[in-house]
Each structure stands twice: as C-alpha cells, then as structure tokens.
Amino acid sequence: MPARQSNRSGAGHLLAADALYRKGLVDDAIGLSYHPEAEMMEEVRANLAAHGAADFTPQMAFLAALEKAAPHAEVDAALADFRAAVATAQAPQAAEVKSRFAAMVVVTKAAAEYQGSIEAGSVNDAMAYHEAHAFLAIARDLATGLQADPLASKAAGRALEVLAEADTAFGDMAQTTLEARNPAILLAIAARLELIGSTVR
C-alpha cells in the first residue's frame, strides 16, 4: 500500500477509535487504535524514509491517552496532533494531484468494513461500522482539500456530491444503537469515485 494510502487508513482507524471512546466503548477504542501499528506502521516508516519525510509515528500519543482514560478533550488533542503530523509527512507529495485523488480508495475499505460489520440484518461489529464511517470522513477531507486545486476542483466537487450520499448508509452516529442498512450503498459510491478519479490527470 502506498504511504499516502497507509497514512489515510491509519488516520481512519484513529477517528473511529475516537468515536467509540466518546460512546464509552473504551476497550473497543483501545483495540482499534492498535490497528495502525499492527497493520501498517512498519511499511509507513519505510515509505517515509524512502521519500525523505519525517517519521511521525512516535507522535501517536493517542493510544496512551485512551489507555489512561483521559478526558475527551485530551484524546481529541492527541488525535489532532497525529493528523497534523500525517499532513506534514505528506507535504513533499502534496503536488501529486492524481495520487491525492487515488487516496480516496479508503472508500473501498469503508465499504468492506461496513459490509463486514453486518450480519443477519444487524450490526454485530461496532468497530468495523465506526471504521467505515471514519474512512468516509477521511475521503471527504481529501476531496475538500482537492477543491482548491484547479487540476482537480471539478472532480473533487463531483466526489463530494457522491460522498454526501454515503450518509444514507448510517443512522445517527451519536447513538449507541447502530443501524444496519444496505452495504450496496457504499459499494456503489466506491465504484463511482473510481470513475471520477479516472478523469484526474
């Protein structure tokens, strides 16, 4: 997985963990926050070194904040620090418009997590469900950032319109009871974003 996509995926894991923590699902939040380190951080470090970018991984104070049951404000601050470090690490590649748009592949991951979170018409995996929602938030951030680039502004606007439809796959995310809807919603959005991305040069 390219460094940019690994970084976005890692940020998505931590966004989901933050949402779980806010709902009092502390064990799930801690478990999910281990995912970036377990799944991809070795690869991310290698890619950062290859591009001469700073290693932001020591700044992952987010997990420590969860483990000590820190107040929400401290957890949010640690998450913000992590996301800022990711942005700094990616700065040397920021001009690669097509690469930035391609990072919206996280929507495909969102669709897979959402589909895997549902069994027999009910949500049976809150972690995966929250991951799906977080990956979509990452994709929206990407598209919003690309709107300012003349090479991608039109495609980014179309992407945001498509991503807005993703809300229909979720109920009220502030609630502890999660609604299982049709996984095909996100699968279709992922396919449409891929088509939009193919127009970016």
**Please, which residues have CB within 8 angstroms of residue 101's CB and are 6 or more apart in sequence?**
142, 146, 152, 155, 156, 159, 197, 200
Q: Are residues 89 and 111 in the same domain?
A: no
Q: Are residues 100 and 80 in the same domain?
A: no
Out of 47, 72, 94, a domain closes at 94
**pLDDT for the residue numbered 45:** 65
pLDDT in tens, 63-95: 778 888 888 888 888 888 777 766 665 554 545
**pLDDT for the residue numbered 106:** 86
Residue 180 has pLDDT above 90, yes or no: yes
Q: Are residues 179 and 84 in the same domain?
A: no
- Angle, vertex CA 46, rays to CA 132 and CA 137, nearest 5: 20
Backbone angle region of 43, left / alpha / beta, with phi > 0 → left and psi within -120 to 50 → alpha: alpha
Q: Are residues 198 and 137 in the same domain?
A: yes
Out of 43, 62, 94, a domain closes at 94
Out of 79, 94, 109, a domain closes at 94
Q: Could you give the CA distance from residue 45 to residue 65 in angstroms, rounded to a whole number?
A: 22
Q: Are residues 122 and 55 in the same domain?
A: no
Q: Are residues 84 and 148 in the same domain?
A: no
Q: Are residues 112 and 72 in the same domain?
A: no
User: How many other CB atoms are found less than 10 A from the CB of residue 7?
Assistant: 28
Q: Are residues 89 and 102 in the same domain?
A: no
Q: Are residues 7 and 90 in the same domain?
A: yes
Specify burial of residue 2 (Cβ count, 10 A radius: 0-12, 13-18, 19+): middle
User: How many domains, the chain?
Assistant: 2
Q: Are residues 149 and 166 in the same domain?
A: yes
Domain that holds residue 154: 96-201
Q: Are residues 16 and 109 in the same domain?
A: no
pLDDT in tens, 97-142: 777 777 788 899 899 999 999 999 999 999 999 999 999 998 998 8
Q: Are residues 70 and 123 in the same domain?
A: no
In this structure, what are the phi and psi dihedrals at residue 122, rounded to the nearest 5 degrees? -130, 155
**pLDDT for the residue numbered 2:** 47
pLDDT in tens, 26-69: 788 888 877 655 555 666 666 666 666 666 555 567 777 888 88
